[in-house]
Amino acid sequence: MTDTTRRTESIGSTPSLLMALELSQRRWKLASTSEATTTVRTRTIDAGDWRAFTEEVARAKARLGLRADAAVVTCYEAGRDGFWIHRALTRLGIKNVVLDASSIEVPRRRRRVKTDRLDAIKLAHLLRRWVGGERCCRVVRVPSEAAEDARRPGRARRTLVKTRTRLTNQIKSALATVGAAAGSLRTLGDRLAQVVQWDGQPLPSELRAWVSDLVAQWTLCDRQVRALAQTRRAVAEDAATAEQVARLEALRAIGPTTADTLVFEAFGWRGFRNGREVGAVAGLTGTPADSGDRRHEQGISKAGVPALRHVAIELAWSWLRYQPRSELSQWYQRRFGSGGPRARRIGLVALARKLLIALWRYATTGVVPAGAALRAP
């Protein structure tokens, strides 16, 4: 029988120490085993105590009968701590993998016992299978420190835009309760004393104070959004991905914010091997249910970067408007243009996936999507 399991992940013929880290804010649970045994040793150390961690690595090697110079492979679940632990382990000369927590298999009983110790042991067994070449879980692709830092202005801007929208709705709703109009929010703070309610009377004192506080928050948020837009441009100019950003901006329908999101969230550092990976990272892949006589599509997986998926779908609408002669737009019109609203929405998601793959090829190789128009120089 042909062995189809990947063996490229194996770290060599010499048994290695396999250690899983179950992280928490105060303590870390360490579960150690090796490729040559099923015994799992568990110990607890203070969070971030690298001296205790190094000592436990040495003790675990001796306890499991491994050589003092045996290689060490560790793993932990991606979560709140991010990737600094991965970088610290790598600096210690340890091979580390960050696991996607949502891909770890769990029993489907109604209730199951869950403790840090059991979770660490589970991760240790999972690591042994992964080292042996089994595709038992998904490994997170860790960005470089520069790539991770370059993503922060865009993510901060998206958070601030949501906050600004919430404040805008609060201000307008508060004034609407007394029949007053907000007008331009950028000047509302200066003219709030002149705003009157439905009968021409001044705003009630408590309402005016509340709206004044909201306007102050809105003004600060708006100032930060505009400042981050300038910071984002500076990051794009200094980063090695500036060429990709410039290429995308050269296409009609793609603005600076969209180009930055595509590059810094996906194209600039992830190193995709094919179009399937591009669609998967945005959560735009299909999830068919095909069992026996039952065959239907459950919709897109949404198991990816939400910001990338949102931008791709928004871009699909813009693409239809500003790139009507491109092959992708014509494909959409032939396939879904004459359908109803539901069919057009489904087709738009399919267009977003195709468009994302085409833009990845364009950003990395310079091949312009067929029929797409560039902006006038």
- The per-residue pLDDT for range 132-156, each reduced to its tens digit, is 889 888 999 999 998 898 888 889 9
Average pLDDT over residues 173-186: 93
Say whether pLDDT at 234 is over 70: no
Cα 97 from Cα 27, distance rounded (Å): 20
4: pLDDT strictly greater than 80: no
- What is the per-residue pLDDT for 278? 94
Place of tokens 């306890």: 63
Residue where a domain stops, chosen among 239, 271, 287: 239
pLDDT tens-digit series, residues 201-228: 999 999 999 999 999 999 999 999 999 8
Its pTM stands at 0.83
9 pLDDT above the threshold of 60: no
State how far the Cα of 347 lies from the Cα of 350, in Å rounded to an integer: 5
CA angle 146, 148, 151 (to 5 degrees): 110
| 196 and 257 housed in the same domain | no
* In a shared domain, residues 224 and 247: no
Which structural domain, as residue segments, surrounds residue 61? Answer: 17-131
Name the pLDDT band for 299 (thresholds 50, 70, 90). confident
Is 3 a residue whose pLDDT tops 60?
no
Shared domain check, 248 and 233: no
- Residue 263 tokens read as 């590059």
Q: Which residues contact 90 (CB under 8 A, 6 or more apart)?
A: 96
Rounded to whole angstroms, the Cα distance separating 369 from 356 reads 11
pLDDT of residue 14: 77
- Verify that 185 and 255 share a domain, yes or no: no
Domain final residue, candidates 239, 254, 274: 239
Q: Average pLDDT over the chain, rounded to whole? A: 90
Q: How many other C-beta atoms lie within 10 A of the C-beta of residue 106?
A: 8
Query: 73-93: per-residue pLDDT in tens?
Result: 999 999 999 999 999 999 999
Average pLDDT over residues 120-133: 93
Confidence grade of residue 107 (pLDDT, cut at 50, 70, 90): confident
Please tell me whether residues 254 and 235 are part of one structural domain: no
In this structure, are 206 and 302 located in the same domain? no
140 belongs to a structural domain:
no
3: in domain: no
Specify whether 279 is located in the same domain as 219.
Answer: no
- Return the percent helix, strand and coil in the chain, to nearest 5: 50, 15, 35
Q: How far apart are CA 366 and CA 140, in angstroms?
A: 28
Beta bridge partners, 99, equal 77, 139
Mean pLDDT, rounded, for 181-196: 92
DSSP 103: G
Would you give the distance in Å from CA 300 to the centre of its chain? 16
Position 236 pLDDT exceeds 70? no
Q: How many CB atoms lie within 10 A of CB 90?
A: 14
Residues 337 and 252 in one domain: yes
* Residue 240 pLDDT grade (very low, low, confident, very high; cuts 50, 70, 90): low
Output the pLDDT for position 5. 36
Domain boundary among 131, 154, 189: 131
Question: At residue 186, does pLDDT exceed 50?
Answer: yes
Residue 35 has pLDDT above 70, yes or no: yes
Supply 130's token pair.
Answer: 């992964």
Give the total number of structural domains in the chain: 3
Report whether pLDDT(174) > 60.
Answer: yes
